[in-house]
Amino acid sequence: MLKIENTTETQNVITIANNSPDNSQKLPANMVVMWGQKALPVEIPYGSSPWQKTIEPKNSTITIENTTPSNVTVTVTLSYVGQEGDPQKSIILNWFDGQLIVAPETLITAVKTTIQTGNKEYAGTDANVYFRVAKGDWWLLDKPRYNDFERGDTDTYGPFDVSNLKARELSTVPIELKHDGKYFGPDWYVDWLDLEAEIPNRGWYVYKKWHPGWLEEKNRYIKLQ
């Protein structure tokens, strides 16, 4: 259950989205939203548009309860709605680890990624693997004197500098993965990978986790976000 109170002098908008993993796409997100003293049942199927509601200023409170099965992931965000020139208020960012409250203009200083190659036949690859965030430079994921992306391996790469990326932008920028298709048997099965972001004075937080599956020789690029 999540309780959110708006103590600002302006309206805020609560957004609820269903970000279930692929194996639960057919499950709706059944939310019970207490708006004042009124219960508002809300159903948000996977892939549908997020549900939004405005929270009025000056100590208005809403309580949100997720009544879905545990394998349905519901993302809740709070965004500031103010007049141009108003000071920025803190926002709630959605992280795989939970929720983190930061100022919208907070700079993310670095990112890193952990990748697990699947434990199945021919899952590993010797191709060169690249990763990038926010249309920046492609980072080659390679450890010196190490055979990367072998079957069943879990490896972390980075940190990589993204010092111009703001916290409010993280959920909208492209996040991409590819390999170059070189060498014998370049097909690669990615069981999962995540993105961790470094928040100044707060440490590292896992932002999101994906399950790409096969990146084959001819289909070796995927846009994760």
Nearest to 46 by CA among 62, 22, 64, 69: 22
143 Cβ neighbours under 8 A, 6+ residues apart: 155, 157
pLDDT digits (tens, 9 = 90+) for 48-91: 777 777 776 666 666 777 777 666 766 666 555 544 445 455 66
pTM above 0.85, yes or no: no
Averaged confidence pLDDT in the chain: 80
Domains and CATH numbers, the chain: 2-89 (2.60.120), 107-223 (2.60.60.20)
Q: Of all helices (H) and strands (E), which one includes residue 7?
A: none
Q: How many of the other CB atoms lie within 10 Å of CB of 86? A: 12
Q: Return d(Cα 137, Cα 168) in angstroms, integer.
A: 21
pLDDT digits (tens, 9 = 90+) for 184-193: 889 999 999 9
Torsion of CA 137, 139, 144, 148, to 10 degrees: -160
Q: For 172-193, what is the mean pLDDT?
A: 92
pLDDT > 60? residue 22: no
